[in-house]
Chain A
Amino acid sequence: MSKYNFAFFDEGSKREIRRATLKAIAIPGYQVPFASREMPIARGWGTGGLQLTLSLVGTDDVIKVIDQGTDESVNAVNIKKLIKITTGIKETEKTAEATIIQSRHRIPETELREDQIIVLQVPLPEPLRIIEPSEYVTKRLHADQEYSGIWLMLFEQIMQHGRMATGADHPVLVNDRYVMAPSPIPRFDNPKMHCSKALILLGAGREKKIYAVPPYTKVQSLAFEDYPFEVEDMSARVCRLCGAKGIFMDELIDEETQEKYYQCNDVSYCLERLNNENDD
């Protein structure tokens, strides 16, 4: 691998990505276009997040990569391996140890700190794309703060289903200005973005956009006065392994009994709880 640069890119490319990142931090929730590079992993497999991570990483950093809540999922392993090969930096599975956490579809259960950065992988950065296919138009809608379309979509869901029917990636309003796609994190994780102590960076490689939520920024999930935002209902779920409650759970079927059971989706959170138990 010595034929490749530290952190894969040439320094000029890293600088360009960092410039876009700084702009994104300066304008919370605004999608900054950048000349996304082709990466050795496929577009749509986290290249946006990976470019952010590689542009930021230094030799002292400790990286954690999660996909769907686990450090061992194919996407996480693949990305971690590439970061490791091209930088040689330390990796960890413990949320608290990491300086940079790259994640697909989850924000860890353990609260992040000011000295940490979370990088989220984004497939579709444009929250208005579902109501308007043209980039030229959506850019103008953002400029004019014209968000009736997305509100109307939520209104129609309420008319039809009696409630908002969004799944993951429920749109948020950042800093009272931009409507933003939080990436396909479950609604359960949306509140973690609000006034987060850690810097949140979001990267969409294929769509060539970088955006950010700086620390301590207001992030509101879109909702009506009389139809408040609801997270996934985890109230009746208890982790079969560590006994945790009130966090995001995977739903599994027992092979033998065919019964449904639950486990922490954030695997390192679960493992840490189990380890602490053993220490006691």
Chain B
Amino acid sequence: MYQQEQPILTVKSLNKRFGHGCLNCQGVQKEKLVGNYCPFCQTVYACQNISLEIYPAEILGVVGESGSGKSTLLRCLYFDQDISSGEGYIQGYKDGLVNIFNETSQQKRYIRNHLFGMVYQNPYLGLRMNFSSVGNIAEKLIGAGSRNVDFMAGRARELLKKVNIPDYRMKEAPENFSGGMQQRVQIAKALSNNPPILLLDEVTTGLDLSVQANVLDLIKRIQRDLKISMIVVSHDLGVIRMLADRTIVMLNGRIIEQGLTDQVLEDPQHAYTQQLVYSLL
């Protein structure tokens, strides 16, 4: 069903390397890596030749063990980290013709503030912990150009209500909140400017099971109501199974398998995916 549509985000051959590389690991001899690591120069090839597409209102799951490069991928997309090479195009940005990774840092901020929402595994990265919850949401709206206090406060209340933060705690700072509540404030913040693309990095990791279910439910509901495209990164196949329409499996910085989530989980092709799926059973 997606094939008729234009992808909202296209990533082509994204590479992210930590380190300078050396004769051993660059070019044709790349096979000499141990995992994604060059033992000669300690360079880590965190993302190698990653290409992907996301369609409107689609949830793309990215699964893999820790160190597989999936979080780095998200951070590259959100410009938290500079990429080593690659291209990225967003449908709603300059007609999808301009490589977003080549834009100035000013333009990248514009993209972050207007087109992306990000929810980090660690809420400390996504929130100003000692500002009010309302203020946290306003920050994103301010970034997107709003200068009206009543509008922003109203929008913040509406979103915080949506993520089940009680009215009387909205002016409180997230540092006083539990992990699950912080995560919900982060989600509300990420949603505040109606971004077409939401990036979610291990959002349920470290939460109690009941709270996890709560947050997953919330994400599902938001996706249904707002028709936002999402990239959901998780090491937890349960999360992927519940949320993702399509899934990418990453290992050592590469995509080793991809397809419809059901297909990947029911009939895994790659040995690693098989191991991953069977261990879940």
Contact = CB atoms under 8 A, between A and B. Distances in A.
Are A and B in contact, CB atoms below 8 Å, in the complex? Answer: yes
Interface string A13-25: 0000000000000
Nearest to A145: B106
A159 B147 contact: no
Nearest to B106: A144
B142 A152 contact: yes
A225 to B, nearest CB: 5
A151 interface: yes
B52 interface: no
Contacts of A148: 113, 139-140, 142-143
Contacts of A151: 142, 147
A158 B148 CA distance: 11
Contacts of B134: 159
Contact of B149 (A145, A146, A155): A155
A137 interface: no
Interface in B91-147: 105-106, 109, 113, 128, 131-132, 134-135, 138-140, 142-143, 147
B133 to A, nearest CB: 10
Interface of A is mostly: helix
A98 to B, nearest CB: 38
A4 interface: no
B153 interface: yes
B130 to A, nearest CB: 10
A238 B223 CA distance: 62
Contacts of B105: 140, 143-144
B135 A224 contact: no
B106 A159 contact: no
B169 interface: no
Given A143-B105, A152-B139, 7 more contacts: A140-B105, A145-B106, A152-B131, A152-B135, A156-B135, A224-B147, A225-B147
Interface of A: 140, 143-146, 148-149, 151-152, 155-156, 158-160, 224-227
Q: Which 4 A-B pairs have the closest CB atoms?
A: A148-B143, A148-B142, A151-B142, A225-B148
21 contacts: A144-B109, A145-B106, A146-B109, A148-B142, A151-B142, A151-B147, A152-B128, A152-B139, A155-B135, A155-B138, A155-B142, A155-B152, A159-B134, A159-B135, A159-B153, A159-B171, A224-B148, A225-B147, A225-B148, A225-B149, A227-B149
